[in-house]
Structure 1
Amino acid sequence: MDYLVTVWDAGGSVPPELALVRKLAERGHRVVVLAGPPLRKGVEAAGASFRAWREVPHRRSPQDPDPFSDADLSSPPQIIGRLVDRIIAGPSAVYAREVGAALDECGSDVLVSSMLMLGGMAAAEARGVPCAVTMPNCLALPARDIPPFGTPWLPARTPLGRLRDAAVNSMATKLWDRGLAPLNATRADLELPSLRHIHDQYTRVARILVLTSPAFDFPTELPANVRYVGPQLDDPVWVEPVELPPGDEPLVLVGMSSTFMNQGDLLRRVVAALDTLPVRGLVTTGPEIDPAEVPGTDRVHVVAAAPHREILPQCAAVVSHGGHGTVIKAAAAGVPQLVIPLGRDQLNNGARVVAAGIGLRLKPSAKPTTIAAGVRRLLDEPSFTQRARHLAGPIRGDAQSTAAVTELENLARPVDDHART
């Protein structure tokens, strides 16, 4: 079958989406990926054909500034506003044109869309092409007993807590709906009915594929089109083999965002913290931070990148920003975690780490002494490792599932109940 996949160059969300591309290609399907040129190498390595965005805002090279960067913003309303203006609604007509043209030219049976490209979803809807939305994190839509997106809260257990969650979700809906007019204008051009809320676009797609394990996420009653299909644990193509620090001390892996989130100072504080402990540290800065900006020590080595999935089974603890990719890989490896969220969905992921008893969470302003104390707790209190290893089993099982590909194949080849009977 023929699949068109749209990928947003958003750092940690790319490897799990390209993992789906790889799995589809390995099953013999024809896959075209519509993305920015910096992702071409990863797309082709996954076995798909690459097609570059034309008018849609995107990075043309890794050196280009990220048109969606939120590193200069400090509040959720500002971040939501930028997403609405620059990807969700503002350019929705451009997304609709480009995705629609690609669907027509490729003869695609299914559109697999990154979760924020609502204009592309509308283009598929107008053509009657089934659309599956990838959600490479925990469930990010409002749902019963799920704390509001972007908060550090645990599920509400009291009427007052549920009222708080409802109020915050209502405010967030109003912020997202600032883009409703341009999105509805795009839909009108496609001769589609108007939506009451931005999020209603998700109710009109065939599937929402949540790329995590339900064993890690908070339980809720799912909408009819939502499926948990397991985490996709591929590392990005730009990682390189590294030599681990020598010695027998416990190994602590550090990884912050693969996009720019002003994380340089935090990385330096983590290095200072680990250097006071009887551990070996491996700090990966990612593509946006030069390792030279984060001086290492004899016991704490700093590198640009490393194959986290390969190294994690050798680790005693992980320190990260709480991005879903790092968190779920560490959880699958049964390694306790210290999460220091910098924004986006990282507070939500940190809340799930704490709720599962597999780690701790600190503020991004934490001093080296506080970070060192957190790591020491993970190493000295066996309950963190015990719970992490217990949770690792179901997460690894979900990661090995074929559910994601099965869902996508069923969309391309809908079952004919009459023929079957």
Structure 2
Amino acid sequence: MARIAFVCPPFAAHLASFRALGEELARRGHEPCFLLNAGASGSTGSIPIHHVPERRGDPAVGRVLASAEKPGGLIATLRTIADSAALTDQLCAGGREQLRQLGADIVVGDQMEPAGYLLARSLDLPFVGLACAVPIDPAPGVPLPFLDWPYEPESEGKLRRTGKIAKTMSRKQNKVIAGWAERFGIGGLDSLEACLGPVQMAQMVPALDLPRPDPLPFVPIGPLRRPEEVAGVPLSFELPTDRPMVFASMGTLLGGDIRIWRSLAQACRLAGAALVLTHGGRLGPAEVASLDVHHAADFLPYRAAMRHAALVITHGGSNTVLDALACGVPLLVRPVGFDQPGNLARIRHHALGEELASLRRPRAIADQIRRLLADASYTSRCAEVADALERAGGARRGAELIEAAL
């Protein structure tokens, strides 16, 4: 039995993936727990959350999360990086004492939160890194995750320039990393990439990723999902029988934008498809009633719904993309930020779907829907990725890697 500390950003999608991994570890007799920023919460089930102390001047987690949900181009990206640096600083300041009190035997840290690696190194604990989102590990020809550029191995000069730009954008975060590395007596760490650690795993699999040279820097384990999320559970609505079903989710980022749903509803009607959507509780009853769609809900069990879908429309969040492909369903993607453009680049590379046409052009979206539904090659390629995701092992494989690191 081992006490396993999870250190990850306080975002719902990351917490969900770690929860699935933690519940598998608990079934094996281990004691997982979360070490999170002050005030962070989320759906972690029976896995306890421990918080580091809040300090004067620290950003409130609620404000950080609300800010991250507002798309805004470069300014929003810089704001999110600055907030992330402050959260890392808070975790490093209070995390060592918390890990000592918890008697942690190992730290499992999210790639996007360098505090996990810094804290593990400072206490001489084993560390396993996890890429919940698109892996940030550099590779020849692979653009940064927040870019939707294609795989271009001959464009290393361009990629190096964007790497320098990214380093400039991450200056605050890099300063925090270097400062705590020096205080912890580690040295030589001054970037997020330097805190990945030698043992890594990722939800990404080669069948979906852009090409990387062997050996891979991480073990591809596929989606981290709880058994009940994978199982076929009953749906709360009647499935369409006369039209193909399109399932749409824009996450919390765009779930409340009624203009998006009106455009997609019109496009699906023009394409002769039935639209089922989840808006994350961001729409009121009157707005939902005005849409004229087959079904709209605050939340739905994604895989249970996607198994009946012929197409998924999404903002391109990693968990939604992985769930759609695990069900063998092609995608139309409208990325907003974070790693969503990187997911779109991979979907394009493997011809698993397309970028969603302008929301101002419902007829163009309807043409896309008809084209993807009529082309069986999309479904065939998605089925191949579904098989690769299934074989990767998910939470079971992740737990095995953590046990090996122990």
AA matched with 1:358: L
Map 1:348-387; keep pairs closer than 5 Å.
348-362=342-356, 365-387=359-381
| Residue 71 (structure 2) pairs with residue 69 (structure 1) | no
AA matched with 2:311: A
TM-score by length of 1: 0.85
Instruction: Mark the CA change 1:404 to 1:126 in structure 2 (over 3 Å): closer, same or farther.
Output: same
| Aligned-partner Cα distance in 2 for 1:323–1:38 | 21
**Partner residue of 1:211?**
203
Does the CA contact (< 8 Å) of 2:303 and 2:323 recur in 1?
A: yes
Q: Post-superposition shift, 1:29?
A: 0.5
**Partner residue of 2:106?**
110
Instruction: Mark the CA change 1:196 to 1:326 in structure 2 (over 3 Å): closer, same or farther.
Output: closer
**Partner residue of 2:30?**
29
| Aligned-partner Cα distance in 1 for 2:358–2:25 | 38
Instruction: Mark the CA change 1:126 to 1:299 in structure 2 (over 3 Å): closer, same or farther.
Output: closer
AA matched with 1:85: A
Q: Post-superposition shift, 1:177?
A: 2.9
Map 1:302-321; keep pairs closer than 5 Å.
302-321=296-315
| Residue 85 (structure 2) pairs with residue 84 (structure 1) | no
AA matched with 2:362: P
Map 1:156-171; keep pairs closer than 5 Å.
156-157=152-153, 159=154, 161-171=155-165
| Aligned-partner Cα distance in 2 for 1:274–1:258 | 22
CA-to-aligned-CA distance 1:68-90 (integer Å, 9 cap, x gap)? 623445223x3442233212x33
**Partner residue of 1:137?**
133
Q: Post-superposition shift, 1:49?
A: 2.3
| Aligned-partner Cα distance in 1 for 2:259–2:178 | 42
Instruction: Mark the CA change 1:247 to 1:156 in structure 2 (over 3 Å): closer, same or farther.
Output: same
CA-to-aligned-CA distance 1:350-404 (integer Å, 9 cap, x gap)? 1211221221112564522222211111112222122222332112221457321
Task: Name which of 119, 131, 134 aligns with 2:115.
Answer: 119
| Aligned-partner Cα distance in 2 for 1:144–1:179 | 24
Q: Identity of paired residues, percent?
A: 21
CA-to-aligned-CA distance 1:87-122 (integer Å, 9 cap, x gap)? 2x3343321133212210111111112223223421
| Residue 96 (structure 2) pairs with residue 100 (structure 1) | yes
| Aligned-partner Cα distance in 2 for 1:341–1:106 | 39
| Aligned-partner Cα distance in 1 for 2:87–2:298 | 34
Aligned pairs, number: 398
Moved more, 291-300 or 359-368: 291-300
AA matched with 1:70: A
Instruction: Mark the CA change 1:342 to 1:274 in structure 2 (over 3 Å): closer, same or farther.
Output: same
| Aligned-partner Cα distance in 1 for 2:87–2:329 | 41
| Residue 274 (structure 2) pairs with residue 275 (structure 1) | no
**Partner residue of 2:50?**
51
| Aligned-partner Cα distance in 1 for 2:250–2:285 | 12
Instruction: Mark the CA change 1:298 to 1:267 in structure 2 (over 3 Å): closer, same or farther.
Output: closer
Instruction: Mark the CA change 1:327 to 1:257 in structure 2 (over 3 Å): closer, same or farther.
Output: same
| Residue 7 (structure 2) pairs with residue 15 (structure 1) | no
Q: Post-superposition shift, 1:227?
A: 2.2
Instruction: Mark the CA change 1:147 to 1:210 in structure 2 (over 3 Å): closer, same or farther.
Output: same
Instruction: Mark the CA change 1:209 to 1:287 in structure 2 (over 3 Å): closer, same or farther.
Output: farther
Does the CA contact (< 8 Å) of 2:105 and 2:126 recur in 1?
A: yes
| Aligned-partner Cα distance in 1 for 2:59–2:322 | 28
Q: Post-superposition shift, 1:180?
A: 2.7
CA-to-aligned-CA distance 1:12-54 (integer Å, 9 cap, x gap)? 33322211111111111011122476745x32x2x42232454
Moved more, 22-31 or 210-219: 210-219
* Structure 1 counterpart SS, 2:325: helix
Instruction: Mark the CA change 1:250 to 1:285 in structure 2 (over 3 Å): closer, same or farther.
Output: same
**Partner residue of 1:415?**
none
Does the CA contact (< 8 Å) of 2:256 and 2:282 recur in 1?
A: no
Consecutive unaligned residues of structure 2, counting only runs of 5 or more, are none
AA matched with 1:25: A
Does the CA contact (< 8 Å) of 1:114 and 1:134 recur in 2?
A: yes
Task: Name which of 302, 323, 328 aligns with 1:329.
Answer: 323
| Aligned-partner Cα distance in 2 for 1:313–1:86 | 37
